[in-house]
């Protein structure tokens, strides 16, 4: 088993596999945030037609399917076979061809020569022991001028109150124990990981939840959820 894997985290998401595509279930926040993620990817990467995209930590395929519908050739990686089974079944039902694989990004980067135009890594970094390892492996798989898009959670008191106490314990939007505050990542730390992987940070923006409208919007505030784009120059 690769070192950069937390079996408790994998099992946690495997148990909720059958709820990936229930917009009112435990994955409801992902369904709410997904349109904004797709919008941001398009803003940063332009037309996705025939682009080769790798979705790291794809889960049940919510983002992978959205990108495939935009014409991308999508490969999805995840370590929870239960989630991949759901993703494969749902894609087949919708007539989509997506290459779903059970693999860590580190193992995948060491076993193939393929390079990708775009790599997405959404809501994964805060669930692994070593985020640097993920980003370094992604960098290996990017084409020159390829783009890596990552979303995660800032480590501060506001994020702890809103996402752990608020979302998990009070509103119960997500299961208790979904997040570990100590694994949240400050933007400065993530940008250092990017630099260590010989990538360049191009953009960083917040994703702010509007309670009354039940939606996320792009925001200059990066104090809770945020998304960042990096690129490979050569």
What is the tens place of the pLDDT at every residue in 177-232?
A: 677 888 999 999 999 999 999 999 999 999 998 878 888 899 999 999 999 999 99
CA 6, 11, 12, 13 torsion: positive or negative?
A: positive
Distance CA 24, CA 79 (A): 24
- Cβ burial, residue 13 (10 Å; 0-12/13-18/19+): buried
> Is 78 annotated in some ligand binding site?
yes
Q: From CA 153, how far away is CA 169, in angstroms rounded?
A: 18
Is 37 known to sit in a ligand binding site? yes
pLDDT at 1: 41
pLDDT of residue 231: 97
Model confidence pLDDT, tens digit, residues 61-118: 999 999 999 999 999 999 999 999 999 999 999 999 999 999 999 999 999 988 999 9
Q: How far is CA 110 from CA 70, 73, 133, 162, 203, in A?
A: 29, 21, 12, 38, 28
The answer to whether 149 and 44 are in contact (CB under 8 A) is yes
HEC secondary structure over 77-104: EECCHHHHHHHHHHHHHCCCCCEEEECC
Q: Find out if CATH 3.40.50.150 is the number for domain 7-153+183-232.
A: yes
DSSP secondary structure letter of residue 127:
G
User: Sheet of 215-219: strands edge to edge?
Assistant: 99-102, 73-78, 52-56, 116-122, 142-153, 225-231, 200-210, 215-219
Percent pLDDT > 70 in the chain is 94
Q: Is 79 labelled a binding residue?
A: no
Is 60 a known ligand-binding residue? no
Q: How confident is the model at residue 174 (pLDDT cuts 50, 70, 90)?
A: low
Please choose, from the candidates 91, 29, 31, 20, the residue with its C-alpha nearest in 3D space to the C-alpha of residue 60: 20
**pTM for the complete prediction?**
0.91
Domain ranges of the chain: 7-153+183-232
């Amino acid at each position: 088993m690769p070192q950069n894997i937390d079996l408790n985290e994998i099992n946690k998401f495997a148990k909720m596999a059958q709820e990936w595509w229930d917009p009112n279930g435990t994955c409801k926040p992902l369904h709410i945030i997904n349109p904004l993620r797709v919008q941001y990817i398009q803003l940063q990467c332009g037309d996705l037609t025939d682009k080769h995209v790798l979705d790291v930590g794809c889960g049940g395929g919510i983002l992978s399917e959205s990108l495939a519908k935009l014409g991308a050739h999508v490969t999805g990686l995840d370590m929870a076979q239960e989630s991949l089974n759901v993703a494969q079944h749902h894609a087949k039902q919708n007539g989509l061809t997506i290459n779903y694989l059970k693999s860590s990004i580190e193992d995948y980067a060491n076993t193939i020569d393929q390079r990708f135009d775009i790599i997405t890594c959404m809501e994964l970094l805060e669930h692994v022991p070593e985020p640097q390892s993920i980003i370094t492996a992604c960098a290996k798989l990017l084409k020159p001028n390829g783009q890596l898009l990552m979303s995660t959670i800032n480590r501060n008191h506001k994020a702890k109150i809103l996402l752990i106490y608020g979302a998990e314990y009070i509103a119960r939007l997500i299961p208790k124990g979904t997040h570990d505050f100590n694994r949240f990542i400050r933007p400065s730390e993530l940008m250092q990981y990017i630099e260590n992987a010989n990538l360049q940070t191009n953009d960083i923006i917040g994703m702010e939840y509007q309670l009354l409208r039940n939606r996320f919007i792009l925001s200059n505030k990066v104090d809770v959820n945020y998304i960042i784009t990096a690129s490979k120059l050569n």
